[in-house]
Amino acid sequence: MRQLVSWVASAAVGFVRACVVVLVSMLVPAVWAAAAGLWIWWWGGNPWAGTAPLLWAGIGTLALSRPVCRMVRSLVAKWTGTVIPAGYRQSAPVVRMSTGYWWNGYSYERTSRDARQDQRMRLWWSDPATWRDLRFAVIAPFTTGVIAAVPPAGAVAAVVGLSHPAASMRLIGVLGVAVAIGAAPYAWRPVGPVAVRFLRPSPAMALADRVDELTAQRADTTVAQAAEIRRIERDLHDGAQARLVALGMSLATVERLMETDPNRAKALLREARSGAATSLTELRDLVRGISPPVLTERGLVDAVRALALDSPLEAAVSADLGLRLDPPIESALYFGVAELLTNAAKHARATRARISIFGGEGPGIVVDVEDDGGGGAGMRAGGGLDGLRRRLAVFDGTLEITSPAGGPTHVRMVVPCESL
């Protein structure tokens, strides 16, 4: 009984979906049919009567192809969960030059509106995605469109046939019902594979996207690295270096005071010693921030264990990771965990955290950090989590955050295998 109900439900859903697929994929053929109709209508022995309708049909096809593809993409994503990247070229910003003209990356225009229009046209014309969309708009009706048309056609046959008294027509009606119901759960499905096959970005487009992505990442990395080096320089300059100078001065003074005022000399020596201890503490903190010694000595898992022990949270670590990773990846993941634990303690007011590290195969290396805090963590441009996402992106790694208001927070860092 339950099986029957679920089958009926899937047939009903499938029928609706098949109708939607037919509607979307038949938009372009409908334009052509209308043009052909007009041509026949105006036909009066004059073959040139068709020029205007055909021109309109051509323009209509060009204009419709992109919206049709967008709709198919969103339908496939909604129904099957397969996200097909669109791969359209992004427009460069339109800027006003000192001459007062507007530069859109291709040409100078007198007004910003002209510049944008010109840019849109050029982009549209030069974008390989445009031609791919056009190809799909032509292919879709003959593949997925025809198949999806089976259930609606069956339904039409049923309505027409059953309303007719003749026995042969009734038979056609009954057959129509059978076809409509039988094909409904399956007829819409080809839209997925067909869209994936013909709508995904071509290798050239994918490469162009990848180049853009890598260029942006390289710029990010360069900026971050320069900032880090400046921070280290400043810390050394104002910290250890200054303290060593002070130490040298104290010792020089002690040398002089040794005979004349031994008591002050002793006090100065004590001061110098505590100065040296302080500068060592500062240097240790600095080193920890650059490359934690325990990470160098023991690798990621033990370093995270050490981190968990030092954390004010009750943090449990479970790990299943045989191999040592590349130092840059270890470092990125280590600082990621450190940041997440700090966030959990400081912002989410958590008391417990669970860290698990596993991988080496399949998706790559996965690091999960869960806490029992207040949640509400999110990515803000320039924030800590955004920085973490960028550091992982260098290795094609990803950061997933699930943090509903009220908690708990679950963050997953994944670095794919190829970068190991």
Partner 1 sequence: MRIVVAEDLYLLRDGMVRLLEAYGHQVVATATTGPETLDALLSRRPDVAVVDVRMPPTQSDEGLRAALDARRRLPGLPILILSQHVEQLYARELLADGAGGIGYFLKESVFDADQFIDALERVAGGGTAMDPAVIAKLLSSGSSNRRLERLTEREHDVLGLMAEGLSNQAIGQRLFLSESAISKYTTSIFGKLGITDDGNNNRRVLAVLTYLNKP
Residue ranges binding partner 1 (CB under 8 A)? 273, 276-277, 280, 284, 287-288, 293-294, 296-298, 302, 305-306, 309-316, 351-352
Least Cα distance to 127 among 62, 181, 175 occurs for 62
Smallest distance, Å, CB 280 to partner 1?
5
SS3 assignment, position 314: strand
Nearer to partner 1, 76 or 337 (CB): 337
Nearer to partner 1 by Cβ, of 9 and 277: the residue is: 277
Residue 277 CB, nearest distance to partner 1 (Å)?
5
Q: Which helix (H) or strand (E) holds 46?
A: none
Contact 348, 338 (CB under 8 A): no
Residue 306 CB, nearest approach to partner 1 (Å): 4
Residue 54 burial (10 A CB sphere; 0-12, 13-18, 19+):
middle
| Cβ nearer to partner 1, comparing 221 with 311 | 311
* 134 or 340: CB nearest partner 1: 340
Q: How far is the CB of 108 from partner 1 (least distance, A)?
A: 60
Counts of helices then strands in the chain (DSSP H, E): 16, 8
Burial grade of 215 (CB within 10 A; 0-12, 13-18, 19 or more): exposed
Nearer to partner 1, 312 or 376 (CB): 312
Nearest distance from C-beta of residue 292 to partner 1, angstroms: 8
- Min dist CB 307 to partner 1, Å, is 9
Tokens 């059978």 identify what position? 178
By beta-carbon proximity to partner 1, the closer residue of 209 and 282 is: 282
Residue 344's CB is within 10 A of a number of other CB atoms, namely 29
Separation of alpha carbons 420 and 409, rounded Å:
27
Comparing CB distances to partner 1, the nearer of 201 and 292 is: 292
Q: Closest distance between partner 1 and the C-beta of residue 404, in Å?
A: 24
Q: Compute the CA torsion angle 75, 76, 81, 85 (nearest 10 deg).
A: -110
Pick 293 or 363: Cβ nearer partner 1 = 293
- The nearer residue to partner 1, 65 or 279, going by C-beta atoms, is 279
Q: How far is the CB of 255 from partner 1 (least distance, A)?
A: 19
- Contact between 17 and 144 (Cβ < 8 Å): no
Considering the complex, what minimum distance in angstroms separates the CB of residue 302 from partner 1? 6
Close Cβ partners of 332 (under 8 Å, ≥ 6 residues apart): 391, 392, 394, 395, 397, 415
* Bridge partner residues of 353 (DSSP): 315, 371
**Nearest of 369, 366, 372, 378 to residue 403 by alpha carbon:** 378
CB of 268 to partner 1, least distance (A): 15
Q: What share of the chain is helix, strand, coil (3-state, %, to 5)?
A: 70, 10, 20
- Tokens 């900032």 identify what position? 227
Nearer CB in complex with partner 1: 368/371: 371
β-bridge pairing 102-103 and 95-96: antiparallel
Q: For residue 26, give the DSSP letter.
A: T
